[in-house]
Structure 1
Amino acid sequence: MTPPQDGSGERASIEVEEFLPHPPAKVWRALTEPELLARWLMPNDFKPVVGHRFTFASKPIPNVDFDGTVDCRVLAIEEERLLRISWGGGGLDTTVTWRLVPEGRGTRLFIEHAGFDLDDPVNAFAFRGMGSGWRTGVIRSLHAALAEVG
């Protein structure tokens, strides 16, 4: 994670790095096929097309202005190498980037969720919660989904 803000207008990022014992093509499928993506992240109407707008469906968070819908748009795609999307809703205007690097018989996955304004209470709350979520729950779910995929 980038350090807390000092009011300079800089944004904070959540950064995760994980080795996956699967080839990049298989990891790419988990990132870009809607039914596989739903297994480890959230139900969605994703299409791997730059400019495509889609949503992730999550659970609403009580006492926070978040109805459970994450509004997204595909910003960049490099097949089996990079996927970048916008990630908005509930007061967030951020981006998520997945970068895949072949490593031995597997893939080194780098995730960056960037653009959190820690001067904003909603962004700071999301940054804290999503930081642990990306590192534990999401990565664990991705490992499980990849193990199930042929």
Structure 2
Amino acid sequence: MSTATQTRSVIVEREIAQPAAKIWKALTQSHLISEWLMNNDFVAQVGHKFKLRGEWGGILDCEVLAIEPERSLSYAWDHANDDPLYALKSVVTYTLTPTATGTHLRVEQAGFRPEQKQAYGGAHAGWKQFLEKLEGVVDQQA
């Protein structure tokens, strides 16, 4: 594989003192996703195409790729942009692993090209903020 085609992944992990079922709900219910990630028309169904609408005005075209209830969720995350440094075709995967005190959540966004250093750094910071909000949303559930 040549270095020109190699991509990098942003990986952010977090321990959440809640059961996987509660976190899964926040990852897969449209109104809850809006509270921690972005406005959306998500449906937890493989093949469902949906949009994430960022507060900055950007729209991401997404498609559900894989679902393992309360264990794993993957979707394509495509951000079209006239500037190739910001155009991104990636895959976001959430993996939930039960722990003694709750759940270990791992988020991986794969597909950053080597020249996309700013987008990569932005995604790394962004996912940390999103997961902080996600934890708050999960904690508020009954």
* TM-score after normalising by structure 2: 0.90
Note the residue ranges of structure 1 that are not aligned, 5 or more in a row: 1-5, 61-66
Q: Give the secondary-structure state (helix, strand or coil) at the position aligned to 2:40.
A: coil
Alpha carbons 2:19, 2:98 under 8 Å: kept:
yes
Equivalences for 1:83-98 in 2 at 5 Å?
Answer: 83-89=73-79, 90=81, 91-98=87-94
Q: Say which of 3, 7, 26 aligns to 1:7.
A: 3
Quick check: 1:70 aligned with 2:63? no
Query: Could you list the runs of 4 or more consecutive aligned residues of structure 1 that deviate by over 4 angstroms after TM superposition?
Result: none
* TM-score after normalising by structure 1: 0.85
Q: CA deviation at 1:105?
A: 3.8
Q: Give the secondary-structure state (helix, strand or coil) at the position aligned to 1:26.
A: helix
Q: Residue by residue, what CA displacement relative to the aligned partner does 1:33-68 show, whole Å, maximum 9, x if unpaired?
A: 0011111111100000000000111033xxxxxx51
Find the counterpart in structure 2 of residue 63 from structure 1: none
Alpha carbons 2:93, 2:107 under 8 Å: kept:
yes
Identical amino acids, percent of aligned pairs? 37
Aligned equivalents of 1:100, 1:68: Cα separation in 2: 28
Find the counterpart in structure 1 of residue 16 from structure 2: 20
Aligned equivalents of 1:30, 1:87: Cα separation in 2: 18
Note the residue ranges of structure 2 that are not aligned, 5 or more in a row: 82-86
Alpha carbons 2:38, 2:55 under 8 Å: kept:
no
